[in-house]
């Protein structure tokens, strides 16, 4: 039976991605939904994107756009960078691309350009990197950058009293349009281990792989979770985003 598996923010941690794929026993029967932020953090930015491009040839994959992926694209395609990007993982990505030739960079630019802002499956489950703000739903979002930069969706879900049901007039309207919402972007932890967290109908799958957390994969039907070792232990001579 085909599983729908959602994968949290990788941040160039290819060793962790390979490890958690082995633990989840990924097959070509699975649908794989990646929540974005493939780069910025650990040293294997180029290798991670190469792996994902090859994976797409043999598996059913959905690649969502993360804010770090957009920043990397602007640097690769437009030679645009900024000091904030460099301070938050961009330097390791730039260093990784020093070893890549122009043909690799061109292929990666196409990968970044073809990322999608959100994915809505046949079960009315929404997948996106960060969030959205329009009360009518993602189709009406005025600011496309919200899909990969917003943090208010997760803050809203966390602040909602658990006794408030979705038919209550106080229940946030933007949450009512979807059965479930899956996001990354805002790490549940930066300092230790954690599992994907649920608040209201929102699931946060970012368990801090860029820092001292793990990379997580979750079956959206069964809610079974597989995790890598803490990613920093796989890159013991690196700092990641710590």
Q: Could you state, in order of their start, the residue ranges of all structural domains in the chain?
A: 4-234
Residue 61 is predicted with a pLDDT of: 98
Residue 79 is predicted with a pLDDT of: 81
- CA neighbours closer than 13 Å in the CB half-sphere of residue 160: 24
For every residue of 81-108, DSSP letters joined together read: --HHHIIIIIHHHHHHHTT--HHHHHHH
Each residue of 127-164: pLDDT tens digit?
A: 999 999 999 999 999 999 999 999 999 999 999 998 99
Tokens 């959205």 belong to 132
Q: Does domain 4-234 have CATH number 1.10.260.40?
A: no
Residue 87 is predicted with a pLDDT of: 82
Residue 4 is predicted with a pLDDT of: 98
- Angular region, 193: left φ>0, alpha ψ -120 to 50, beta rest: beta
Residue 64 is predicted with a pLDDT of: 99
With a cut of 50, which residues of the chain have pLDDT below it? none
């Amino acid at each position: 039976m085909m599983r729908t598996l959602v994968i949290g923010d990788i941040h160039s941690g290819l060793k962790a991605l390979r490890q958690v794929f082995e633990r989840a026993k990924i097959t070509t029967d699975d649908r794989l939904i990646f929540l974005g932020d493939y780069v910025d953090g650990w040293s294997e930015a180029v290798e991670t994107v190469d792996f994902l491009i090859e994976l797409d040839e043999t598996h059913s994959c959905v690649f969502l756009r993360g804010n770090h992926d957009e920043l990397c694209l602007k640097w690769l395609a437009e030679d645009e960078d900024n000091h904030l990007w460099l301070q938050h993982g961009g330097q390791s990505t730039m260093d990784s691309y020093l070893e890549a030739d122009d043909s690799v960079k061109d292929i990666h630019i196409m990968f970044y350009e073809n990322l999608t802002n959100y994915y809505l499956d046949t079960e009315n489950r929404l997948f996106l990197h960060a969030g959205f703000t329009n009360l009518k739903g993602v189709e009406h979002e005025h600011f496309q950058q919200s899909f990969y930069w917003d943090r208010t969706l997760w803050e809203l879900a966390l602040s909602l009293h658990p006794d408030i049901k979705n038919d209550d007039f106080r229940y946030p309207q933007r949450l009512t349009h979807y059965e479930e919402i899956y996001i990354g972007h805002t790490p549940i932890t930066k300092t230790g281990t954690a599992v994907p967290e649920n608040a209201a109908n929102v699931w946060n799958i970012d368990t801090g792989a860029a820092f001292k957390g793990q990379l997580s994969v979750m079956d959206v039907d069964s809610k079974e979770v597989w995790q890598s070792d803490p990613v920093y232990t796989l890159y013991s001579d690196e700092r990641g985003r710590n």
